[in-house]
Amino acid sequence: MPTPPSAPQRPFAILRHGDVRSDPYYWLMDREDPEVLDHLRAENEYLAEALAPLKPLEDELFAEIKGRIEETDISVPVRRRSWWYFDRTREGLNYPISCRVPAVGDVLTPPVIDPNLTLAGEQVILDENAEAGDRPFLSIGVLAVSPDDEWVAVGTDFEGGELHRVTVRPLAGQAPVEDVLEDVYYGFAWANDSRHFFYTRVDDTMRPWQLWRHEVGTDASADVLVFQEDDAQYIVSVARSRDDAMIVVAANSSMTSEVHYVPADEPTGALQMLDARRHGIEYGVEHYTDSLARGWWLKVTNEDATDFRLLARLVSGGDWREVVAERPGNRLDGVDAFKGFLAFSERHEGCAAVRIATTQLGDDPFGAGLLERSTLVDGDASPSSVWISANPTYDTTQLRVMITSLVTPMLVADVVVASGEVIVRKQQKVLGGYDASNYVTGRLWVSASDGERIPVSVVARRDAVDVSADGTLSPRAPSPFLLYGYGSYETSIDPSFSTLRLSLLDRGVIFAIAHVRGGGEMGRSWYEMGRLAQKPTTFSDFVAVARHLIDEGWTTPGQLAARGGSAGGLLMGAVMNLAPALFRAVVAEVPFVDALTTMLDSSLPLTVGEWEEWGNPDASASAYRTMKGYSPYDNVRATNDDGTQRVYPHLYSSGGLNDPRVGFWEPAKWILKLRDANPANLAFLKTEMGAGHGGPSGRYDAWRDEAQVLAWVLNEINPGTTTRTPG
């Protein structure tokens, strides 16, 4: 094994609440310092040299990944006004090509398109490969066609910093315009006149705080500031309603919402406020136009409803009335409004689900018993995930959904609302002879330290587990095991299919997702039990799941790996400190591991806005103590409680030099501190020198990156194995 890089310690004192913390690697935060860049390159070189013996396995895995994917493919076309929109991918090209073809009549059945042929009248809206050229990174943050179908706004990011250069391009043969807008964030909405559009900008901390209006054909210097949010805990977003009636502007913190709007026909009009912010009250809205041409607001809110409820009111005025009551444990995530029905995104038995309810003609479009006359769109396995897909047309009679599970390749289907018929438009093709019957999925329930039952979604080769008559899974023998976790921001890590994961399963590795508290899988209370002062519950839940897997014979500490990214990387760092002996290896991608230092620095991106998630350790001594108690960087130890030398799991970590969400220095500092605690700790760092939070942008680069991670994991928990045909 080559010698890992080292860096000089330059202690920097951080004082809060009478407590002094000395950070030896604080200086690594300076991305302009040549010494910092040299150190990151040295870490990359060390990783490459140390993992060179795994290159044959990496190449084998890359070939498997690539060989399962239909490289020349096409997405299911989506109808929007008089066009069908779709994406092409071509073998050898890193990025998709966005296209459209004219639609004829009112047909809702998408055309069947040969991926190798071009249709008559087909138009390329954006070829991302041509856009990228020879640049190593490209992300498209804005791609919006105007309501008259004659213009497209394109926002490009070539560094991964999530700031975009927006240009407006002709689609109907008209003369080009010179419009260029720099440093545009996500969020974009055209007005109905196809001359004006709205976009957002960020402040110095990368917080979207301003809404601007632009007129096509004018210089950006003439753009109008429409709205500015001065409270640093709030972010601004903008969207256009599906019925083309409203431009909706939201200002949201982690716990509080406020919505403003302007009619899409009146883009230069003044914003109007819907409901003023009240601390702790969250709401999101949808606009609905009924059969009498009246506008309604639909509001999903937690006001008097922990798991949210649906209210409605006429835009012209009146009181809010309840349309769907709260159902404790079934979190209502959102509503999508269409001319003849509403589609609800919700949590059902801990899984992502979609429910469809028809509306009515006349004075009361929602009526009594809306929920009772609704239907649930089912997945074909348990656990499974159902999500609403792209549905830009307001007056459609079908709902496009996506259905998947850990063993079910992604299905794209249209649900006929009147009959409930599910028409499969396409299922993800897995080349190489994938047979779902050779794999099994199920859910375990693990008791946490306080008795709460933690759901765990599992997938394995059928020959690795036993399945009882009721579908309960049990291990045949301890196996190599990869346990994934996240557990923050009320984000649900729902089970979905991955062709990349097959390379693990076919080598005897069992994969599972621990749906720990802090996520949103089991409703709002699940989130509340894993945030702020209760954040350590997230970590103890994950440790409880790992111990259960070992105690019940699913795996052993020498065969168990854990993986998580971003806030899930914080989870990885915390459990490494809590129970290092439980895991052989850990993958922590763009990990938020220097949490306390980051949350004390209000000048860093996202810090102030995330105080409602983690607590404000600058203002609160108790929040400071809580975060200091679990922040991975602050809790790296050289010895165990009994005084013996602490040995941490082997670690593969990553960062992005241009990452605006988790600073590249967090994993860099953490790796060094782990080595300082014990030179025998094997820790690797890979820094993307030209990318951000999401890693490589091109699909072949991303597959190669994943092949390296999987090769490392396999070498750690299942060395010497080869692919076996499931049986």
Q: What percent of the chain has pLDDT over 70?
A: 99
One domain for residues 191 and 239:
yes
* Residue 707 belongs to domain with CATH number: 3.40.50.1820
Asked if residue 181 is part of any domain, the answer here is yes
**How do beta strands 683-688 and 398-405 pair?**
unpaired
pLDDT at 721 over 80: no
One domain for residues 363 and 510:
no
Residue for token pair 């012209």: 316
State which of 381, 404, 428 marks the end of a domain: 428
pLDDT at 63 over 60: yes
Rounded to an integer, the average pLDDT of 80-104 is: 97
Q: Measure the CA–CA gap between 295 and 243, rounded to whole angstroms.
A: 10
pLDDT at 727 over 80: no
State which of 220, 254, 281 marks the end of a domain: 281
Tokens of 248: 């909706």
CB burial of residue 225 (10 Å; 0-12, 13-18, 19+): exposed
pLDDT at 6 over 80: yes
Q: What is the pLDDT of residue 115?
A: 95
Rounded to an integer, the average pLDDT of 11-39 is: 98
Asked if residue 241 is part of any domain, the answer here is yes
Q: What is the pLDDT of residue 723?
A: 53
Asked if residue 107 is part of any domain, the answer here is no
Are 629 and 538 a contacting pair, CB within 8 Å?
A: no
Q: Is residue 254 annotated as part of the catalytic site, yes or no?
A: no
One domain for residues 303 and 224:
no
Rounded to an integer, the average pLDDT of 658-685 is: 97
531-581 per-position pLDDT tens digit:
999 999 999 999 999 999 999 999 999 999 999 999 999 999 999 999 999
State which of 249, 281, 313 marks the end of a domain: 281
Residue 570's DSSP bridge partners are none
Asked if residue 3 is part of any domain, the answer here is no
Asked if residue 15 is part of any domain, the answer here is no
Q: What is the pLDDT of residue 722?
A: 56
One domain for residues 659 and 534:
yes
Confidence of residue 345 (pLDDT cuts 50, 70, 90): very high
One domain for residues 259 and 293:
no
Q: One of 566, 653, 654, 697 is an active-site residue; which one? A: 566
Q: Measure the CA–CA gap between 721 and 724, rounded to whole angstroms.
A: 9
**Structural domain that includes position 652:** 33-66+433-594+631-717
Whole-number average pLDDT of the chain = 96
One domain for residues 412 and 535:
no
Mean pLDDT lowest for which of 40-54, 160-174, 365-379, 669-683?
365-379
Q: What is the pLDDT of residue 87?
A: 98
One domain for residues 259 and 354:
no
| DSSP 3-state percent helix, strand, coil across the chain (nearest 5) | 20, 35, 45
One domain for residues 188 and 320:
no
Q: What are phi and psi of 190, to 5 degrees?
A: -80, 145
Q: Measure the CA–CA gap between 548 and 609, rounded to whole angstroms.
A: 36
Whole-number Cα distances in Å, 366 to 293, 312, 360, 362: 15, 9, 6, 10
pLDDT at 222 over 60: yes
* Residue 391 belongs to domain with CATH number: 2.130.10.120
Rounded to an integer, the average pLDDT of 92-118 is: 94
Q: One of 157, 243, 506, 659 is an active-site residue; which one? A: 659
Q: Is residue 237 annotated as part of the catalytic site, yes or no?
A: no
Is the peptide bond between 455 and the residue preceding it cis, with omega within 30 degrees of 0?
no
Q: One of 87, 457, 693, 705 is an active-site residue; which one? A: 693
pLDDT at 724 over 80: no
One domain for residues 489 and 441:
yes
Q: What is the pLDDT of residue 663?
A: 97
pLDDT at 64 over 80: yes
Residue for token pair 């599970």: 405
Asked if residue 405 is part of any domain, the answer here is yes
Q: What is the pLDDT of residue 726?
A: 39
One domain for residues 202 and 225:
yes
Number of domains in the chain: 3
pTM for the complete prediction? 0.97
Asked if residue 258 is part of any domain, the answer here is yes
Mean pLDDT lowest for which of 143-157, 289-303, 359-373?
359-373
Q: Is residue 164 annotated as part of the catalytic site, yes or no?
A: no
Q: Measure the CA–CA gap between 335 and 356, rounded to whole angstroms.
A: 10
One domain for residues 453 and 489:
yes
3-state per-residue secondary structure call for 642-681: CCCECCCCEEEEEEECCCCCCCCHHHHHHHHHHHHHCCCC
Rounded to an integer, the average pLDDT of 597-605 is: 95
One domain for residues 240 and 309:
no
Asked if residue 662 is part of any domain, the answer here is yes
